[in-house]
Structure formats: C-alpha cells, structure tokens
C-alpha cells in the first residue's frame, strides 16, 4: 500500500534533512521531493511552521511506535523498569540518522517542538516519586547510556563500534535487572 500524501511529504522532508552537508526543508523543496505542487503541499501544511511541526511529530510518533512494539503491553500498566527497558532497546537497536538527530535537537530552540517531544516521551521516561532512589539512579543511568549511544549513532560522530553494542546491552541489562515483583 502506498503511503498517504501527508506521510509521503513528511518522509520526503526527512530525506531532505539527510542530505550531505546538512539539508534544509522549504515548502518548495518538500513539495518537489513529494512529487507535489507547492499548493498541493500547502493543502496539508499551510505554512513552513506547520510542516516543521509535522516533521517533529512524525519522528516522535515513529519513536513512540517502536517503543510500544518493544513494550508489548499497555503503556499504562507497564512498570518504570519495563518502560525504560523498551526505551533502551529502541535507542540501542533501531536505525537512526542525522535527520532524527536534527529533528530532536531543534526542540532545544523551539518551545512547540519541545512540547511535542515532552508529550510523547513523558509517559516513557517519567519516574514516580515513590520509586526507591537506587532504582531511580539505575533507570536513569540506563537511559543516559542509551541516549549517548543514540547520539553517537545518529550523528556518526565518534560512533561506537558495532562489536561494543552487545556489551552496552549487557550493562543496561544489569542496570535494569532489579525490578521488584
């Protein structure tokens, strides 16, 4: 089944961000990439800001879908350990690239982008106040290890050799193993 037009536009915009030397996305370039006219694109994204918000939400939704697949249980009933485990597994195994990184880091500069990431990821990364400090520290350490790996892999700046990924997984397993029944 062919992707719908909106998805085709967003996937094409991400391809533009992957361009060598750092790509940029304009309404014209996104329309050309999706095989549309500019007015055809503007039917779905009337402004450049709407397109950028759509790109951020598209990437965050892809992450969220991968997280839900890894979790294999309802998010609402999953323990902090299981949610963190799903996050770590996705960050250490899913294919990410410079477009993902660019979209994520834009949240530093735009409140609307930050809000999208916050809304999508808060349920995954929130640790309840009554979680013992030892568990909080271990879950946070596992998450930060995964974030660092993801950053290195997505940017290809000082990437971690593939042979080391299994060992990183083992370390995160050790950090995540002490879940109370």
Instruction: Calculate the average pLDDT of the chain.
Output: 90
pTM over 0.85: yes
**Quick check: 68 and 78 in contact, CB under 8 A?**
no
* Tally of structural domains, the chain: 2
pLDDT digits (tens, 9 = 90+) for 2-25: 569 999 999 999 999 888 656 678
Same domain, 104 and 154: yes
Of 27, 13, 18, 1, give the one whose Cα is nearest residue 57.
13
| Residue 36 lies in domain | 1-46
Same domain for 35 and 118, yes or no, is: no
- Which pLDDT band, with edges at 50, 70 and 90, does 1 fall under? very low
- Structure confidence by residue, pLDDT tens digits, 89-147: 999 999 888 888 888 888 888 899 999 999 999 999 999 999 999 999 999 999 999 99
Per-residue tokens: 36 = 């549309």
SS (H, E, C) 24-55: CCCHHHHHHHHCCCHHHHHHHCCCHHHHHHHH
Q: How far is CA 44 from CA 5, 20, 31, 60, 144, in A?
A: 8, 27, 11, 19, 36
Residue 181 included in any domain: no
Does 96 share its domain with 125? yes
């Amino acid at each position: 089944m062919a992707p719908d037009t909106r998805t085709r536009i967003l996937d094409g915009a991400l391809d533009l961000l992957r361009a060598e030397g750092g790509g940029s996305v304009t309404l014209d370039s996104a329309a050309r990439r999706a095989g549309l006219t500019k007015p055809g694109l503007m039917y779905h994204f009337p402004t450049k800001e709407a397109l950028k918000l759509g790109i951020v939400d598209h990437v965050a939704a892809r992450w969220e879908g991968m997280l839900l697949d890894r979790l294999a249980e309802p998010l609402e009933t999953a323990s902090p350990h299981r949610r963190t485990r799903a996050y770590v597994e996705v960050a250490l195994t899913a294919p990410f690239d410079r477009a993902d990184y660019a979209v994520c880091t834009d949240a530093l500069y735009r409140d609307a982008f930050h809000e999208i990431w916050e809304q999508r990821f808060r349920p995954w990364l929130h640790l309840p106040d009554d979680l013992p400090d030892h568990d909080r520290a271990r879950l946070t350490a596992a998450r930060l290890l995964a974030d660092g790996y993801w950053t290195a892999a997505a940017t290809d700046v000082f990437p971690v050799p593939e042979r080391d990924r299994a060992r990183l997984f083992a370390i995160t397993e050790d950090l995540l193993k002490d879940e109370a029944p």
